[in-house]
Amino acid sequence: MQKLFLFLTLISACLFAKAQKEPVERVWYNQEKTSKIQVYKATDGLFYGKIVWLAEPKDALGNPKTDVKNPVESKKKAPLQNLLILKSFKKSSDNANQYEGGTVYDPMSGKTYCGKINLAGKELKLKGYICSFSMLGRTSTWTLAE
C-alpha cells in the first residue's frame, strides 16, 4: 500500500510540474498599447505569440484589419486578429528569463526579424534585429496585460 501511495504521489508531482506555465506565458500589451499578444508554449516545446486583441480592430470601412503589408500576396488578406507574430523561441539554457532563436513579424512593416525576449517581472523586452547583425535592431518593451 505504501508503494502505491508513493507511486501515485510521484505521478501527481510530475503532472503538476508539467502543467505549470513559464512566466512568459501571459498576455502582453505591445509598447504602444494598440494590441495584446498572447505568448504560449506549443506542443513542440517552443514559444509563440499571437495578437489576441486590437485597440482598433476594424479599418475605415468597418472590415476587420488585415495583414496588408505582408510581402506574400496570399497572406495580405489574413486578419490581424490571431496573427502569429512571435515564432519558435526557446528558453535560454544560460538565463531562465531569456528566450532566443525565434523570429518576430512586424505587421506594421511586413518585415520579419530575428528576436530575443528578456523577461523582467511585469515587463517583457523584445529585441528584433536583422538576423546576421544583432547590433542592428531595436528593443520594444511590452507590459503585462492580465
Residue 1 located in a structural domain: no
C-alpha cell at position 133: 547583425
Instruction: Note down the domain range covering 64.
Output: 22-144
Residue at 14 is within a domain: no
In a domain, 46, yes or no: yes
d(CA 136, CA 113): 10
Count up the domains in the chain and report the number. 1
Pairwise CA distance, residues 48 & 71, whole Å: 21
Task: Provide the CATH number for the domain around residue 71.
Answer: 2.40.128.520
The answer to whether position 12 is within a domain reads no
- What is the chain's pLDDT, residue by residue, as a tens digit (146 residues)? 554 444 444 444 444 444 588 999 999 999 999 999 999 999 999 999 999 999 999 999 999 999 999 999 999 999 999 999 999 999 999 999 999 999 999 999 999 999 999 999 999 999 999 998 777 889 999 999 97
